[in-house]
Amino acid sequence: HSFTKLPIHYSSAMSLGLALRPPIPVPNDLETEGMWITRKASTVMSTAGPEGDHRSYPHLGGSKVWREFMRDNVQMLENILDHFGISPYCPIHEHGCNMMGTYTDHYTSTNGQHFKNMWKFTRFFQDNVPLRRVREHAWERWLVPGGGVRFNHLDGELQMFRGPSNAPGLGPDIPFDPGCTTSLPPPQ
């Protein structure tokens, strides 16, 4: 017998119980051009509302809960960047956060090394400073064909931008700044 290979759509495969990897989102998939669009939202919520500092976000309370909240978003980021041949590297490696294994495994390691180094080597965790202000310094951006991808290192939000590499708005509003030296007060 001869079998013909037919393309199968991801949703059809899922309904049949087949384990296929979901399609990798890319900037050209976006309908809107010229603005950052959330592709995978953060799942973290403040227990104190929008003015809460790091203490009001449960995922920032320890490496185990950090791993649980962040792993899916970090994995999606790594898959997207891998699709474009980009190997992300820990943005605080120069402070001793050594990259071991895959980006996702490093970022959400069971020993909590990356999480502990975020606490030790950044000023993201300041008492009485709303996390909404600090998170603006926690974006890291990569240019890819068709636009850009950016990831927030505090809450895991993943966004894409469709447009040429020189498009207004594609550059980060505030560059990744683990020292938060541009507009935050010193720690108390």
Give me the mean pLDDT over the 92-115 stretch.
83
Share of the chain above pLDDT 70, in %: 78
SS3 labels along the chain: CCCCCCCCCHHHHHHCCCCCCCCCCCHHHCCCCCCEEEEECCCCCCCCCCCCCHHHCHHHCCHHHHHHHHHHHHHHHHHHHHHCCCCCCCCCHHHCCCCCCCHHHHHCCCCCHHHHHHHHHCCCCCCCCCHHHHHHHCEEEEEECCEEEEEECCCCCEEEEECCCCCCCCCCCCCCCCCCCCCCCCCC
For the whole model, what pTM was predicted? 0.80
In tens, the pLDDT along 21-76 reads 668 899 999 999 999 999 999 988 888 888 899 999 999 999 999 999 999 999 99
According to the model, what pLDDT value does residue 176 have? 64
